[in-house]
Amino acid sequence: MPRSPAATSALPLLLLLVRALALASARPPPGPDYLRRSWLRLLVEGEGCAPCRLEECAAPRGCLAGRVRDACGCCWECANLEGQLCDLDPSAHFYGRCGEQLECRLDAGGDLSRGEVPEPLCACRSQRPLCGSDGRTYAQICRLQEAAGAQPDANLTVAHPGPCESEPQIVSQPHDVWNVTGQDVIFGCEVFAYPMASIEWRKDGMDIQLPGDDPHISVQFRGGPQRFQVTGWLQIQALRPSDEGTYRCFARNALGQVEAPASLTVLTPDQLNSTGIPQLWSLNVLREEETESQEGEDYY
């Protein structure tokens, strides 16, 4: 049966609608009604914009990136957040517009060798940290705006550019470990602070800062993994029974000091066999080897 002219003209619009629905199901975003609005905009463009009646517009809620006008320039809708798809062409209105302090850029972070295609994503114009009125450090203004949108009653504002001064906070503390004599162990400690903190390691019952003059103990430090963080490691090679005890990570800056302990249990092979669980020793050795392979570049 031949198609009517109306059905023929509606076919391209239907195909675009199916494509938009497929995109929405393949990439669920964090924002409310984010991609569902995309195909609604497509329908509006296909039908043309009706006269604007502000009294008929629904008030958007929970807009963490602020509000923008819809495709017809009439009603308000939630702007797209950082990391959400957007329209590179300012005249397009499929994915929507980015919010305040955001701009639409092609994301080149994918692996092009694997066929990953760069996508247009909302990105914050500024990457400078700042201090919020709540005393928290935000990586950039867009993060602060999201927090302000999530808690409008808090009246969150920018206290000053740059991070908030704070005493050290241990964000990843060392864990209790055990191993057999002759094996190696590593303790790790991650600290956030501004001004940046210094880290030192000590063993309970000893007044000296490790490693001291002990050649089988070494320490290593580096910045990161996040801004204003520092990470420290304590490595003990060829364990001896005398190495057993509690080790402490101390972090300090001009505003204060914080510490985190972790215990080390050292077993001889005879003690391990007497427990009846030698398979746990094998598992522990594998974990230590994985840790060394991940952090190998940070030791020398």
Q: Quick one: which of 143, 197, 204 has its CA closest to 166?
A: 197
pLDDT recorded at residue 70 = 87
Q: How confident is the model at residue 11 (pLDDT cuts 50, 70, 90)?
A: very low
Residue 229 has pLDDT above 50, yes or no: yes
Output the DSSP codes for 25-92: HHS--SSTTTTHHHHHHHHHHHH-PPPP-GGGPPPP---TT-EEE-TTS-SEEEPBPTTSB--SSTT-
* Least-confidence region, from 45-49, 54-58, 141-145, 192-196: 45-49
Report the pLDDT averaged over residues 188-199.
94
Q: Quick one: which of 65, 67, 15 has its CA closest to 42?
A: 15
Query: What is the per-residue pLDDT across 230-285, written as a single tens digit (0 to 9) for each?
Result: 999 999 999 999 999 999 999 999 999 999 999 999 998 888 887 655 555 455 55
The mean pLDDT of the chain is: 81
- Core vs surface per residue 265-279: b (16+ CB within 10 A) or e: ebbeeeebeeeeeee
Residue scoring higher pLDDT (108 or 137): 137
User: Based on C-alpha coordinates, what's the Rg of the chain?
Assistant: 28
Residue 17 has pLDDT above 70, yes or no: no
Q: How far apart are CA 83 and CA 88, in angstroms?
A: 14
Query: What is the per-residue pLDDT across 148-188, written as a single tens digit (0 to 9) for each?
Result: 989 888 899 999 999 999 999 999 999 999 999 999 999 99
Q: Under 8 Å CB-to-CB from 115, ≥6 apart: which residues?
A: none
Give the CB-side neighbour count of residue 88, counting CA atoms within 13 A. 7
Q: How far apart are CA 157 and CA 52, in angstroms?
A: 34
Q: How far apart are CA 185 and CA 217, in angstroms?
A: 10
pLDDT recorded at residue 206 = 85
Contact call for residues 79 and 97 (beta carbons, < 8 A)? yes
Range picked from 2-6, 22-26, 57-61, 130-134 for highest mean pLDDT: 130-134
Query: What is this structure's pTM?
Result: 0.58
Contact call for residues 179 and 269 (beta carbons, < 8 A)? no
pLDDT recorded at residue 145 = 93
Contact call for residues 52 and 73 (beta carbons, < 8 A)? yes
Residue 218 has pLDDT above 90, yes or no: yes
Q: Quick one: which of 120, 134, 128, 122 has its CA closest to 65?
A: 122
Contact call for residues 34 and 99 (beta carbons, < 8 A)? no
pLDDT recorded at residue 92 = 82
Q: How far apart are CA 161 and CA 141, in angstroms?
A: 10
Contact call for residues 103 and 140 (beta carbons, < 8 A)? no
Contact call for residues 180 and 265 (beta carbons, < 8 A)? no
Residue scoring higher pLDDT (151 or 22): 151
Cβ of 100: how many Cβ atoms within 10 Å?
A: 15
pLDDT recorded at residue 30 = 45
